[in-house]
Amino acid sequence: MRDDVEKIISQAAAEVSAASSLAELDEVRVRYLGKKGRITAALRSLGACPPEERPALGKLLNEARESVEAMLTRRRDEVAALERAKALEAERVDVTLPGTRPPVGARHPIRMVYEELEEIFGRMGFEVAEGPEVELDYYNFEALNVPKNHPSRDIQDTFYISDEVVLRTHTTCVDVRVMKGRKPPVRAIIPGKVYRSDASDPSHLPVFHQLDGFAVDEGITFGDLKGTLARFAREFFGADTKVRFRPSYFPFTEPSAEMDVSCVICHGRGCRVCKNTGWLEILGSGLFHPKVLEAVGYDPEKVSGLAFGMGADRIAMLKYGIDDIRLLAENDMRFNRQFLHINPAHIVHASREG
């Protein structure tokens, strides 16, 4: 009987390891441990044995059952792993096939520039203000020290709606509107569309974008103007950006200055974009002309203000290497979609070899 048991175990072991599927394993289990299985049958026939052998034989058979069960369990895990592996193998994909992308829309570069400018100036305490694009002649010109019927109007070619109403030629008119309703200190930037009757060409559009800004308070100095704008230039164009201020003329500022930044393309070594000067003209600025402060009811003896205005299109063109302003208004999807891959964190320009 003892020999029989060992034989059963060794046969079971052989069958377990021969089983290659969960179904076959189950058959083996039934054959040995099922109701009519061989070990079950042997246990049941224990009563026919002499009483003194029963305990030892019973123990032996129980051990045999546990051993077969253990073998089955071990083998079941093996077979399950094999079957899972087979199933997974059947599901293998070509990982180089293209992914299914959810549709994502791109930002327009002008908006990216505005957003970045709003963040930079926002950190310096400038709020965002807006005003009408169809504007009174008064705000666009007269309040900014450009009298009616005066030759200084030749500086800008203006679209007129009527004698009193124009399409604003700059966002500076909103400076006046904002100051008129407030007491200093005020710091604001004004993004928006502006209009000049210039025919379209690679660097002109009749509708383009500006960002004006100003800070009025007691004791605002020309040095503050320089410091504020130099900080903007470094944050926007990169920490190693240099700036220089050149005297200029705007009717609404005195003193007036134009700010150049070191060329973002060639880093000051000279290239086509900076016309070999190493500098790029970026914005006009100055301290508010006392007549402007008087027009909004401020006392120029007490209050002074720094003011600046820049073309957002030009800045977008420099930052993103765009060589024709018309691309910004055409909305050719082959152009617009490229801005899915370009964001303000990039300083996108040609290499230093440019």
Partner 1 sequence: MLVPYEWLKEFVPGLPPADEVARVLTMAGVAVEALTGEGEDAVFDFEITHNRPDLLNVFGLAREAAAVFSLPLRHPELAVPEEGGAAEGMASVEIAAPGLCRRYIARIVTDVKIGPSPGWMQARLASSGVRPINNIVDVTNYVMLEVGQPLHAFDLDLVGGRRIVVRRAAPGESITTIDGEQRRLSEDMLVIADADRPVAVAGVMGGLETEVSERTKAVLLESANFDGVSVWRTSRALRMRTEASSRFSRGLWPENARIGVDRAAALIAAIGAGKIALGMLDAYPGREAPVYVTLRPRRVNHLLGTNIPAEEMKDILMRLGFIIESKDGDAYRVLVPDHRRDVSREEDLVEEIARLHGYDRIEATLPEGAPPEVRLDPARQVASRAGEILRACGLSEVETITFTNFEACRELRLPEDEVERRAVKISNPLSSDYTMMRTTLLTSLLDVLKRNAARREDDVAIYEIARVYLRREREDAPGSARGDSLPGSGSACEDLLPCEPTKIGLAVMGRIAEPSWERGAADAGFFDLKGIVETLLEGLGVRGARFVAASHPSLHPGRTARVVVAGDGDGSDGDIGDIGFLGELHPDVREALGLRKRACVAELDLASILAARDPVPRVKPLARFPAVTRDMAIVVRRDVASAEVRDEIAAAGADLVEDVRLFDVYEGPQVPEGHRSLAFSITYRSPERTLTDEEVEKAHRAISAALTEKLGATVRE
* Residues 311-340 close enough to bind partner 1 by CB under 8 A: 328-334, 336-337
Smallest CA-to-CA distance from 285 within 178, 213, 233, 235 is with: 213
Applying CB under 8 A, does 134 fall inside the site for partner 1?
A: yes
Q: Which of 61, 144, 257, 295 binds partner 1 (CB under 8 A)?
A: 257
Q: Among residue numbers 235 through 254, which ones bind partner 1 (CB under 8 A)?
A: 244-249, 254
Structure tokens at 256: 């007036």
Residue 275 — left, alpha, or beta (φ > 0 → left; ψ -120 to 50 → alpha)? left
- Give 113: exposed, middle or buried? Use CB within 10 Å, 0-12, 13-18, 19+: buried
For 255, residues 6+ apart whose C-beta sits below 8 A from its C-beta are: 222, 247, 286, 287
Applying CB under 8 A, does 223 fall inside the site for partner 1?
A: yes
User: Between residues 300 and 354, which has the closer beta carbon with respect to partner 1?
Assistant: 300
CB of 97 to partner 1, least distance (A): 7
| Rg of the chain (C-alpha set) | 42
Q: Among residue numbers 23 through 62, which ones bind partner 1 (CB under 8 A)?
A: none
Counted residue by residue, the chain has a size of 354
Phi, psi of 49 (to 5 degrees): -85, 160
Which residue has 């290659």 as its token pair? 20
Q: Among residue numbers 150 through 209, which ones bind partner 1 (CB under 8 A)?
A: 150-152, 154-155, 159-162, 164-165, 167, 174, 177-178, 180-182, 185-187, 193, 197-199, 205-207, 209
Applying CB under 8 A, does 280 fall inside the site for partner 1?
A: no
Which residue has 């019927």 as its token pair? 149
**Binding mask 86-115 vs partner 1 (x if CB under 8 A, - otherwise)?**
-----------xx-xxxxxxxxx-xx---x
Applying CB under 8 A, does 2 fall inside the site for partner 1?
A: no
Number of residues that bind partner 1 (CB under 8 A): 98
Applying CB under 8 A, does 272 fall inside the site for partner 1?
A: no
Q: Which of 10, 45, 221, 343 binds partner 1 (CB under 8 A)?
A: 221
Q: What gap in Å lies between CA 11 and CA 5, rounded to an integer?
A: 10
